Amino acid sequence: MKDSNDPALAAQRRRNLWLGLALFGFVVLVGVSTAIRLQDAALTDDNSFYFNGSMSVPAVSETVLELVE
């Protein structure tokens, strides 16, 4: 078992802490970026950030016409 006062072990713990904080920071940045992009996105347009299951008006019209024909 390693000595808890071992400088190498202490340094490794500090590095792990920094690594954890960095990963947390990355997750926060991705989350914040996604939230802002979603807020700004026009989700019903063809250039939607994500497909939300609804179609744009021209696409709906074409589909209806095809069904009528």
Partner 1 sequence: MTQPDVVLDSPERTVGTAGDYLELMKPRIIMLVVFTFIAGLVAAQSVTGLVINPVLAIVATIAVSLGSGAAGAINMWFDADIDARMARTATRPIPSGAVPREEALSLGIIISAMSVLLMWMASNVLAAVILAISIVYYGVFYTMLLKRRTPQNIVIGGAAGAFPPLIGWVAVTGAMSVDAWILFAIIFFWTPPHFWALSLVAHKEYERVGVPMLPVTHGARATRKQMLAYTLILTPIALAPLLTGLGGIVYAFVSVPVSLGFIYFAVRIYRSRAGDADAGDKERKLAMSMFAFSILYLFLLFAAVLAEHGFNLYMPVGG
Residue 15 binds to partner 1 (criterion: CB under 8 A): yes
Q: Kindly tell me which residue out of 13, 24, 29, 45 binds partner 1, with binding defined by CB under 8 A.
A: 29
Task: Report the residue from 8, 65, 67, 68 that binds partner 1 according to the rule CB under 8 A.
Answer: 8
Long-range contacts: 56-63, Cβ < 8 Å, 24+?
Answer: none
Q: Which of 30, 42, 43, 59 binds partner 1 (CB under 8 A)?
A: 30
Residues 53 and 43: beta-carbon distance below 8 Å: no
- State which residue, 33 or 61, has the beta carbon closest to partner 1: 33
**The residue to which tokens 């340094």 are assigned:** 11
